Structure formats: structure tokens, C-alpha cells
């Protein structure tokens, strides 16, 4: 069965893992999801990002439950009081309704406490980086 919105599935899996207080999450690999996970790690929402893709350096060396596609392994971040660093996730642009913003119209998420992830002509980046470079793009999701 094909999936129409893998980014929404990715965000839902993270949301469910946070609500279940999981520390690790394994999900199907794709370059887009891997780049989003790297951005979340750079912004401090995740502790670690590893891949288990055949033909690449593996995380643990065991076979992936997702077959030749491989898997992406995320380590969620919690503070000393066991509160998650991710309080909310929201998919903005969907396959049925794309949301594009210009460089002057990139909104701040939660007054700058959260981030938007945009896909631009220069690759995936956060809203802060897009404002700094002066480019707009499609708003994939918001994380706070």
C-alpha cells in the first residue's frame, strides 16, 4: 500500500512516541525524513539520529525491519524531570493544499520558541535560516 503523505506519517510517529514516553523510535528511511530529523537534532528537539540502511554504515548492524529501504532511528530528548522537548508538531503544507511563503511572509512559530521547516530552492532549512538567506519556500511543518 502506498502512502500519500510520508511527512505527516513521520510527524505522527514522533508525536505518538513522545506521548508514550519512548526514548527511541524506528521508522522507514527516506532522504527527506532524514534531513528533517537532522534539522530537529540541530535545533535541540532530538538527541540522536542514526540510519540502518543496507549498503551504508549501520547503526547496530542488525537488519532493518523495513527491508531494503532501511530505517531511521531517532532518539527523543527529555529533560531531567522527564518532560519532552517536543511539545507539539503540526503539518502545514499537505499534498492536497500546498502552502508557500515568500521571504517577507515567513511567520514565527510560538513567538520564536518553535521552528518551521521549509523546503526551498537551496534545500531543507529552518525558518530562521530562510529569513537569514532571504528566500521563501514551501512550509512543511512547525515544531515547538
**C-alpha–C-alpha distance, residues 93 and 138, integer Å:** 7
Q: Domain of residue 111: give its range.
A: 89-143
Pairing between β-strand 46-52 and β-strand 71-76 as defined by DSSP bridges: antiparallel
Q: CB neighbours of 144 closer than 8 A, spacing ≥ 6?
A: 86, 87, 88, 109, 110, 113, 114, 115
Q: Which residues pair with 115 in a beta bridge?
A: 143
Which tens digit of pLDDT belongs to each residue from 64-118? 777 788 999 999 999 999 999 999 999 999 999 999 999 999 999 999 999 999 9
| Same domain, yes or no: 102 and 42 | no
Residue 90 C-alpha from the chain's centroid: 11
SS3 30: coil
Whether 17 is covered by a domain: the verdict is: yes
Q: CB neighbours of 23 closer than 8 A, spacing ≥ 6?
A: 75, 76, 78
**C-alpha–C-alpha distance, residues 112 and 128, integer Å:** 9
| Same domain, yes or no: 33 and 94 | no
Which tens digit of pLDDT belongs to each residue from 103-142? 999 999 999 999 999 999 999 999 999 999 999 999 999 9
In contact, 137 and 121? CB cutoff 8 Å:
yes
pLDDT at residue 54, rounded to an integer: 79
76, 101, 131 - which closes a domain: 76
Residues in the chain: 144
In contact, 41 and 113? CB cutoff 8 Å:
no
| Same domain, yes or no: 107 and 131 | yes
Give how many domains the chain has, as a whole number.
2
What predicted TM-score, i.e. pTM, was given to this entire model?
0.91
Which tens digit of pLDDT belongs to each residue from 34-50? 999 999 999 999 999 99
Amino acid at each position: 500500500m502506498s502512502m500519500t503523505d510520508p511527512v505527516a506519517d513521520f510527524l505522527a510517529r514522533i508525536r505518538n512516541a513522545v506521548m508514550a514516553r519512548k526514548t527511541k523510535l524506528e521508522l522507514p528511511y527516506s532522504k527527506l525524513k532524514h534531513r528533517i530529523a537532522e534539522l530537529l537534532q540541530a535545533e535541540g528537539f532530538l538527541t540522536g539520529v542514526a540510519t540502518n540502511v543496507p549498503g551504508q554504515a549501520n547503526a547496530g548492524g542488525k537488519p532493518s525491519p523495513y527491508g531494503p529501504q532501511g530505517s531511521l532511528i531517532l532518539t527523543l530528548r527529555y529533560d531531567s524531570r522527564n518532560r519532552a522537548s517536543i511539545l507539539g508538531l503540526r503539518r502545514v503544507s499537505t499534498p492536497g493544499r500546498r502552502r508557500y511563503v515568500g521571504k517577507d511572509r515567513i511567520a514565527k512559530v510560538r513567538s520564536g520558541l518553535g521552528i518551521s521547516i521549509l523546503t526551498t530552492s537551496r534545500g531543507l532549512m529552518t525558518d530562521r535560516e530562510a529569513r537569514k538567506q532571504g528566500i521563501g519556500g514551501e512550509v512543511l511543518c512547525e515544531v515547538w
